[in-house]
């Protein structure tokens, strides 16, 4: 019995060490990243910029296109070829008259495409501190009418900032990050990313509020040819190691006729931050509305990238609202940031870090070792007691 317990304990220790080793040493596939910025800011400043990021894998290519022509848009194209290219007819693209000014070559390599359009910024006066936007909405800021600065490249990131004509100061910014390997974002909420994803951080910095108790919402459109992002699934987690106090993940996914196979996604944690360099107390919850079908022609008119690539787009839209009842209002810091992950295939899934696995192993292993040693000691003691016992003969 003691030998069996010792063998089980040794097997447990070996298994734990193997799990930790695999977790620490697993090396996912990598991508080769290259960027090309079309020179719209130099030749036709009013047209807006177009950034093309090409991420080449072992047997496929991801094309990320980030554009400020109209409403800021991120288009993701997945091909099954390492030599696929995105060709842009710049004069036609700038004219925004017809689709087809942006094409994938070879066309047969196209596997999936999807876009996210940031269409409007909504503001309301939360006079009763309910965090429920009703009739107190101000006229929305239409992002296609913003004046956008040239895209600022700092590989592998790109920064786009813009202002509305009514702003006396402040700006709305979007920062795109692409990845050549698996990892996590450096800043909170530390989203887990794969080589098949990109990250967009959106922030409001110094935008003048129109009321002392203003709160904001961000309207987004998901656009696709056949299967745009349609359903938001919310998943619960038992681990808040990387985003303290946040145990949920929202996934806006695209699937074929409701199947479990995910074609693409937009993922976020329901939290925003009220400081550029936040502490835990600077976090504020956020919520999303139910996605609703929208007119494809409306979103096409608002985004040059949608006009140039999609011939018959389908669109779904939702709002993300920032802050709950009782939370500080925007005016307290006049800053708000939120992070979104956009990718193809199944979304990355959070798991326990090697440190947490090691702590769990120690926490479970020490009691087992104590029981094991105690059992061996009792067996030895009983064995000695039995061998030294003497018996009186029975007459």
Please write the tens of the pLDDT for every residue from 170-228: 999 999 999 999 999 999 999 999 999 999 999 999 999 999 999 999 999 999 998 89
Q: How far, in Å, CA of 105 to CA of 87, rounded?
A: 7
300 has a pLDDT exceeding 70: yes
45 has a pLDDT exceeding 60: no
Whole-model pTM: value is 0.84
Which is nearest to 319 in space by CA: 391, 215, 242, 239? Answer: 215
Q: How confident is the model at residue 363 (pLDDT cuts 50, 70, 90)?
A: low
Taking a C-beta distance cutoff of 8 angstroms, is the pair 255, 264 a contact?
Answer: no
Mean of per-residue pLDDT scores for the chain: 86
Taking a C-beta distance cutoff of 8 angstroms, is the pair 263, 255 a contact?
Answer: yes
Which is nearest to 305 in space by CA: 27, 75, 114? Answer: 75
The whole-number average pLDDT for the span 141-159 is: 95
The whole-number average pLDDT for the span 96-110 is: 94
Q: How confident is the model at residue 245 (pLDDT cuts 50, 70, 90)?
A: confident
Which residue, chain included where needed, has tokens 């004069």? 91
Percent of the chain at pLDDT > 90 equals: 69
Q: How far, in Å, CA of 114 to CA of 285, rounded?
A: 27
Which is nearest to 328 in space by CA: 226, 209, 233, 221? Answer: 209
Looking at per-residue pLDDT, the higher value among 243 and 275 belongs to: 275
Provide CB contacts within 8 A for 202, sequence distance 6+: 118, 172, 173, 174, 218, 337, 338, 339, 340
Taking a C-beta distance cutoff of 8 angstroms, is the pair 337, 202 a contact?
Answer: yes
370 has a pLDDT exceeding 90: no
- pLDDT (0 to 100) of residue 395: 52
């Amino acid at each position: 019995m003691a030998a069996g317990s010792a063998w089980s304990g040794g097997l447990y220790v070996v298994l734990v060490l193997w799990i930790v080793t695999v977790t620490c040493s697993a090396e996912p596939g990598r991508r080769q990243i290259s960027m090309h910025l079309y020179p719209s800011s130099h030749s036709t400043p009013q047209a807006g910029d177009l950034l093309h990021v090409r991420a080449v894998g072992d047997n496929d290519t991801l094309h990320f296109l980030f554009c400020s022509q109209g409403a800021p848009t991120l288009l993701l194209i997945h091909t099954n070829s390492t030599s696929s290219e995105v060709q842009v007819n710049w004069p036609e693209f700038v004219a925004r008259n017809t689709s087809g000014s942006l094409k994938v070559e070879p066309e047969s390599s196209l596997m999936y495409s999807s876009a996210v359009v940031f269409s409007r910024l909504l503001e309301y006066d939360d006079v009763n501190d309910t965090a429920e936007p009703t009739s107190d909405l101000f006229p929305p800021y239409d992002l296609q009418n913003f004046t956008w600065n040239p895209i600022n490249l700092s590989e592998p990131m790109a920064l786009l900032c813009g202002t509305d004509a009514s702003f006396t100061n402040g700006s709305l910014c979007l920062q795109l990050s692409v990845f050549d390997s698996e990892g996590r974002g450096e800043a909170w909420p530390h989203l887990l990313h794969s080589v098949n994803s990109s990250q967009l951080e959106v922030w409001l910095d110094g935008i003048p509020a129109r009321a002392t108790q203003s709160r904001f919402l961000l309207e987004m459109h998901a656009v696709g040819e056949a299967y745009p992002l349609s359903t938001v699934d919310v998943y619960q987690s038992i681990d808040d190691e990387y985003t303290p106090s946040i145990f949920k993940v929202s996934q806006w996914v695209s699937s074929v006729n409701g199947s479990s196979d995910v074609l693409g996604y937009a993922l976020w944690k329901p939290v925003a931050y009220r400081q550029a360099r936040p502490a835990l107390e600077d976090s504020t919850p956020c919520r999303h509305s139910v996605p609703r079908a929208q007119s494809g022609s409306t979103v096409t008119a608002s985004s040059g990238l949608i006009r140039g690539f999609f011939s018959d787009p389908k669109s779904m839209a939702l709002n993300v609202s920032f802050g709950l009842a009782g939370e500080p209002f925007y005016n307290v810091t006049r800053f708000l940031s939120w992070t979104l992950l956009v990718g193809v295939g199944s979304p990355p899934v959070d798991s326990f870090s090697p440190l947490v696995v090691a702590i769990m192993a120690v926490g479970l292993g020490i009691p087992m070792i104590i029981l094991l040693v105690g059992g061996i000691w009792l067996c030895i003691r009983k064995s000695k007691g039995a061998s030294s016992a003497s018996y009186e003969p029975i007459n």
